[in-house]
Chain A
Amino acid sequence: MKTKISRTLGTIAIAASLAISVNAQDAVEIAKKAHLNYYYAANDGLAEVSMKIVDSKGNERNRRFSMLRMDEADGGDQKYYTYFYEPSDVQRMTFMVHKSAAGNDKRWIYVPAVDLIKPIAADDKNSSFVGSDFTYEDVSGRLWTEDNHTLTGEAKLNDRDVFILESKPIKPYKGFSRRVSYIDKELYLPLKEEFYDGKDKLERVLTAEKIETIDNIPTVTERKMQNLQKNRYTVVSFTSIKYDLGVKADLFTERYLKTPPREYIK
């Protein structure tokens, strides 16, 4: 009797540990797949982005810009080029990021009023992107290898089947202590992400408001980031999306900051 019980317990233990490792495997896979779909769609891409920032008092601020992206390799280095149209006084301002998978990103900004290019620091990835509720990292992505992932369950979200994934930074990180992602099982895109702060209080919630298929690529074309603690939010919508334009790498150099590439930027 006694042996039978211990044998049974042993079997359960082995099964459980197997399940955990399978789970961990799955979790990392899911995280990676979702990351690549979300941040590395096609080899390059262009979109016109409208951003609406709404503060706690309901005041609205708008920004409009074109964003050009080129991947060197999936999950590897990337280059971003941003050209601002609005607010009108910053029209012709441009902004460039060389994102490095190894971790030392570079950023430059061109200030037309004084005709000056200035490199700006990229150490703090958690800082706000153009004053919105998105951080730089939310825009260009945080590599899945920087966090430990656990599959904590499955559920339905807006009638879609989702994996629930919990990610914790491997190295202590100011941006969040815990992130819970709801990843569409079919599209492998995050429909919702919850960011918890250092005190494990829910701080920000990212939601995919609209998903469209463009050039056969499912794309989140409207995203909303809410900051629950500051009671404000930002909505970005992407239009005129184009993929695989064959953008060349030399476009992402200082020269083009002053004179935008007319074939992409109107």
Chain B
Amino acid sequence: MKERIVGFAIKFPWVVIGITALITIFFALQFPKIKIDTDPENMLPADSEVRLFDHQTKEDFGLSDFIAVGVVSEENAFTPDLLNRIYAITDEIKNIEGVIVDDILAPSEVDDIKQGEGGVLIIEPLMSGEISTPEEARYILARIKENPILRGKLASDDGKAIALFIPIESKSMSHRIAGEIKEITKKYGKDEVYHIAGLPVAEDSFGAEMFTQMVYSAPAAFLIIFLLMFAFFRNFRVVMVPMLVAIVTVIWSMGLLILTGNTVHIMSSMIPIFLIPIAVLNSIHIISEFHDRFSKYKHKDATIRHTIGELFLPLLFTSLTTIAGFASLATTPIPPVQVFGIFVAFGVLVSWALSLTLNPAIGILIPDAALRNFGRSDDKHGVMSKILHRIRDYSWKRSGAIIVTAVIVAVVSGVGLSMLEINDNPVKWFKKSHPIRQADIVMNQHLAGTYMNYLVVDAGEPEAIKRPEVQKYIESLQRDLEKDPIVGATTGVTDVVKKVRYELFGADSAQMFIPKTADEVGQMLFMFEMSGGDPEDLFKFVTSDYDRANLWVQLRDGDNKAVSRVVERAEQYLRDNPPPTGIQAHWAGLPYINIEWQKQMVSGMRTSFLSTFVIVLIMMVILFRSIRWGLISMLPLTLTVMAIYAFIGFIGKPYDMPVAVLSALTLGLSIDFAIHFIERFKMNFRRNPDFKEAYHEIFEGTGRAIFRNIIVIAIGFVPMTFSNLVPYVTVGTFFLAIMLVSGMVTLFLLPAIMKQYHRSLFAVKKTVVNHEKVAAN
């Protein structure tokens, strides 16, 4: 079969090239239809319970996602000049398209309940016009501190920071709106520092910056890979072939993704980055082999046939294992990860098919003259070979020590793995120096927090929230949640009731408590509406028929780990203090959604990884027709995965979404070297059943191909590690680590094991070979 395919490609190269070109043009034409989606919420299916409840909660309580704007002045933010400028800034923000003007929280927008002259109750904006004296400025700060609904939220107690919360119609507008707000603050700003934070901005900005990254990092990696290949093979036309295969692979995969109506998500935007090295890996093996054989055959046709014949099985299996690794992502419950997995798997299939068709087709068209010097340089005496020979001899001599070292590495890695900490926070997808990270750090230091979760207390029947026992229960739940250091503030209908009562009794703090009857609670809330309070402000905390209350839980930290702790705390409280009958509590909010999809991702990735591991092992057993060899071939992969993830555990980097998804890549790529190494080793040995000779032979052609791969892929993605976006840094580092570790294990440990146990490993094989020979005779 393989001969027929390659034969066709060699006989009718233009047909192969023409068909490939047509398909490529077809897929390239899909690109303008690209749809971009950067909402991490879509990590959960649209009909997942958590999301549906979150949306229902937002609708029921009129809540929106918001952008948090922080103004920090280390001396004092409460000066007439700065407050007046913030007043002007707020006024301009109101004109931005997509801002929900009525719900803005800012000194000039929020209502304050207070005592007027002669004990008159007033509800009016905290700052109803420009001010001129420091006393007025101080008064505004004092009012914020006296209001449980605003304290910590709108200003820090020390008066150094002021926050504006800008609600927006849709999360997907947040990057644009944040940009417009930045312009406005530039116009009015002086010495104070302005920060823009919040999950929606982080998430949406990540999407925007991600595409800029793509524009640079994919071509940069491409260029470096090209240059490194050129350095190895010194022939422009030959090196162009794998690059072409890589481009065509990317176009087909992304084209099909767009054609099938899938959105380009944070995950799928990385498909090109993943496909380029995978496509190049195959080609390097082909060219290396071609390079080594060309000087021997001196005939293109025969060299190509030989090369493909020699590499067909290893290429098939390295591709199959990579496909298995990525296709397994389709079993995770996270739609963007499924899409990512399926289309990378498709790309791997394409690149495999192309390397058997397009590669030879173009190869045959390269004029002989252009290949005159190709392969002439004797690799056997180059630097690369010198290094490989040292490794070869070292592994031979120190096989025992190498095996012991590997065991030690495995044990130490076990410790590192146990230190792995599952955590994620979309804000931390930006490097620490990024303005969004800085805003997050500074604002959460000064204020009650930029992360908003909602705890919906469902009392089951209308009017029930007004019952004093329910009010008191919510109040004590608030006090308990506030004990967690990351809970900056909790705000609920209880605070409105108490605040009204306090002001009704002439700002008497002794009267600031939950009333003893439901009627009184009702009358306090009615007072709020009677005295000019906006009912829509009230109904952000309670439904209009008072069957459910919404507790705003403001967090200073959006790490899933921290958010989970608060969620767990609430659950613990509900368990320890059984609530009044009929009461249930459920969470909503972006931070909560994030911990939910993380949970699903972690368990999903575990299943997907373990099942792929088993599938790959079965493939290896089939390929090598031996359980023992199957297990040995899994060693580089196992050690690579363990070492890399242990390293992550040791340095305390969280196991987050990119790290989790990269386990599929690690699995798919780490096995490749072992397949080539063992399969070719056995091939050599079958041809010439002399162990030592086969051992030496493997460190020539195959060893060089592996070595070139290590260098090309590891270095090719170094530019990614300079990205502003942490997931890109992670991916770049992973490529480097996968290549180095799996390459080293393949070149040191596999030969060491073969040497150590060659009598038993190859004795069995010998008889099989003899049988085959007998059969052949």
Residues of chain A whose beta carbon lies under 8 Å from any beta carbon of chain B? 55, 57, 59, 61, 87, 89-90, 93, 95, 109, 111-114, 116, 118-121, 123-124, 127-128, 130-131, 230
Q: Which B residues touch A130, using CB under 8 A?
A: 526, 529-530
Contacts A109-B530, A118-B121, A121-B124; A131 near B535 (Cβ below 8 A): yes
In the complex, whether B219 has a CB less than 8 A from a CB of chain A is no
Pick 21 A–B contacts, CB within 8 A, sort by A: A57-B60, A59-B544, A59-B545, A89-B463, A89-B522, A93-B523, A95-B530, A109-B121, A109-B531, A113-B519, A116-B504, A118-B504, A119-B121, A120-B120, A121-B124, A123-B122, A128-B529, A128-B535, A130-B526, A131-B529, A230-B536
- Of all chain A residues, which has the CB nearest B543? A59
A253 to B520 alpha-carbon distance, docked (Å): 24
Q: B517: which of A111, A113, A123, A131 is its contact (CB, 8 Å)?
A: A113
A123 near B526 with CB under 8 A, answer no
Nearest chain A CB to B771 CB, angstrom units: 79
B531 near A128 with CB under 8 A, answer no
Nearest chain B CB to A258 CB, angstrom units: 14
Q: B526: which of A55, A93, A119, A230 is its contact (CB, 8 Å)?
A: A93
A127 near B520 with CB under 8 A, answer no
In the complex, whether B244 has a CB less than 8 A from a CB of chain A is no
A119 to B519 alpha-carbon distance, docked (Å): 21
Sorted from nearest, which 6 A-B pairs have the closest CB atoms?
Answer: A89-B522, A127-B532, A113-B520, A131-B529, A131-B535, A121-B122
Q: Which B residues touch A113, using CB under 8 A?
A: 515, 517, 519-520, 523
Q: Which A residues touch B539, using CB under 8 A?
A: 55
Other 19 A-B pairs with CB < 8 A, given A55-B544, A113-B523, A118-B504 = A59-B545, A61-B544, A93-B526, A111-B523, A111-B527, A113-B519, A114-B501, A114-B515, A116-B505, A118-B121, A118-B527, A121-B531, A121-B532, A123-B122, A124-B124, A127-B532, A130-B530, A131-B529, A230-B102
In the complex, whether B693 has a CB less than 8 A from a CB of chain A is no
A25 to B539 alpha-carbon distance, docked (Å): 46
Q: Which of A87, A131, A230 has the most CB of B within 10 A?
A: A131
A116 to B505 alpha-carbon distance, docked (Å): 9
Q: Which A residues touch B3, using CB under 8 A?
A: none
Nearest chain B CB to A48 CB, angstrom units: 19
In the complex, whether B59 has a CB less than 8 A from a CB of chain A is yes
In the complex, whether B518 has a CB less than 8 A from a CB of chain A is yes
Per-position binary interface string of chain B over residues 533-553, scored 1 when its CB falls under 8 Å from any chain A CB and 0 otherwise = 011101100011100000000
Q: Which A residues touch B102, using CB under 8 A?
A: 230
A128 to B123 alpha-carbon distance, docked (Å): 11
A59 to B529 alpha-carbon distance, docked (Å): 17
- Of all chain B residues, which has the CB nearest A132? B535
A90 near B522 with CB under 8 A, answer yes
In the complex, whether B119 has a CB less than 8 A from a CB of chain A is yes
A90 near B119 with CB under 8 A, answer no
A89 to B118 alpha-carbon distance, docked (Å): 28
Residues of chain B whose beta carbon lies under 8 Å from any beta carbon of chain A? 59-60, 102, 116, 118-124, 463, 466, 501, 504-505, 515, 517-524, 526-527, 529-532, 534-536, 538-539, 543-545
A22 to B172 alpha-carbon distance, docked (Å): 55
Q: Which A residues touch B526, using CB under 8 A?
A: 87, 89-90, 93, 130
Q: Which A residues touch B121, using CB under 8 A?
A: 109, 118-121
Q: Which A residues touch B523, using CB under 8 A?
A: 89-90, 93, 111-114
Q: Which B residues touch A111, using CB under 8 A?
A: 504, 523-524, 527
Q: B123: which of A55, A116, A121 is its contact (CB, 8 Å)?
A: A121
A123 to B123 alpha-carbon distance, docked (Å): 10
Q: Which A residues touch B463, using CB under 8 A?
A: 89
Q: Which B residues touch A89, using CB under 8 A?
A: 463, 466, 518-519, 521-523, 526
- Of all chain A residues, which has the CB nearest B523? A113
Q: Which A residues touch B123, using CB under 8 A?
A: 121, 127
- Tally of contacts, chain A with chain B, CB under 8 A: 88
Q: Which of B122, B501, B529, B532 has the most CB of A within 10 A?
A: B532
- Of all chain A residues, which has the CB nearest B95? A199
B124 near A109 with CB under 8 A, answer no
A120 near B59 with CB under 8 A, answer no
A109 to B119 alpha-carbon distance, docked (Å): 12
Nearest chain B CB to A123 CB, angstrom units: 7
A120 near B530 with CB under 8 A, answer yes
B120 near A109 with CB under 8 A, answer no
- Of all chain A residues, which has the CB nearest B515? A113
Nearest chain B CB to A53 CB, angstrom units: 8
- Of all chain A residues, which has the CB nearest B539? A55
Q: Which B residues touch A61, using CB under 8 A?
A: 544-545
Nearest chain B CB to A105 CB, angstrom units: 12
A128 near B60 with CB under 8 A, answer no
B59 near A57 with CB under 8 A, answer yes
Q: Which A residues touch B532, using CB under 8 A?
A: 120-121, 124, 127-128
Q: Which A residues touch B505, using CB under 8 A?
A: 114, 116
Nearest chain B CB to A126 CB, angstrom units: 9
Q: Which B residues touch A131, using CB under 8 A?
A: 529, 535, 538
Q: Which of B60, B526, B545 has the most CB of A within 10 A?
A: B526
Q: Which A residues touch B60, using CB under 8 A?
A: 57
- Of all chain A residues, which has the CB nearest B545? A59
Nearest chain B CB to A250 CB, angstrom units: 21
Q: Which A residues touch B544, using CB under 8 A?
A: 55, 59, 61
A93 to B531 alpha-carbon distance, docked (Å): 13
Q: Which B residues touch A120, using CB under 8 A?
A: 120-122, 530-532
Q: Which B residues touch A230, using CB under 8 A?
A: 102, 536
Nearest chain B CB to A197 CB, angstrom units: 10
A186 to B532 alpha-carbon distance, docked (Å): 36
A90 to B515 alpha-carbon distance, docked (Å): 14
Q: Which of B122, B505, B519 has the most CB of A within 10 A?
A: B519
A121 to B531 alpha-carbon distance, docked (Å): 7
Q: B119: which of A112, A118, A123, A124 is its contact (CB, 8 Å)?
A: A118
- Of all chain A residues, which has the CB nearest B114? A121
Q: Which B residues touch A57, using CB under 8 A?
A: 59-60
Nearest chain A CB to B36 CB, angstrom units: 30
A109 to B60 alpha-carbon distance, docked (Å): 30
A57 to B545 alpha-carbon distance, docked (Å): 12
Nearest chain A CB to B58 CB, angstrom units: 12
A109 near B527 with CB under 8 A, answer yes
Nearest chain B CB to A57 CB, angstrom units: 7
Q: Which A residues touch B466, using CB under 8 A?
A: 89
Contacts A90-B526, A113-B519; A128 near B119 (Cβ below 8 A): no
- Of all chain B residues, which has the CB nearest A110? B523
B530 near A119 with CB under 8 A, answer no
Nearest chain A CB to B455 CB, angstrom units: 21
A87 to B462 alpha-carbon distance, docked (Å): 12
A119 near B120 with CB under 8 A, answer yes
Nearest chain B CB to A238 CB, angstrom units: 20
Nearest chain B CB to A63 CB, angstrom units: 9
Q: Which A residues touch B524, using CB under 8 A?
A: 111
A93 to B528 alpha-carbon distance, docked (Å): 13
Nearest chain B CB to A99 CB, angstrom units: 16
Q: A121: which of B116, B515, B536 is its contact (CB, 8 Å)?
A: B116
A230 to B534 alpha-carbon distance, docked (Å): 13
- Of all chain B residues, which has the CB nearest A199? B95
Q: Which of A87, A93, A112 has the most CB of B within 10 A?
A: A87
Nearest chain B CB to A233 CB, angstrom units: 13
Q: Which of B116, B527, B545 has the most CB of A within 10 A?
A: B527
Q: Which of A59, A120, A230 has the most CB of B within 10 A?
A: A120
A111 to B121 alpha-carbon distance, docked (Å): 13
Q: Which B residues touch A55, using CB under 8 A?
A: 539, 544
Q: Which of B120, B505, B520 has the most CB of A within 10 A?
A: B120
Q: Which A residues touch B504, using CB under 8 A?
A: 111, 114, 116, 118
Nearest chain A CB to B437 CB, angstrom units: 37
Nearest chain B CB to A67 CB, angstrom units: 14
- Of all chain B residues, which has the CB nearest A61? B544
Nearest chain B CB to A157 CB, angstrom units: 31
Q: Which B residues touch A93, using CB under 8 A?
A: 523, 526
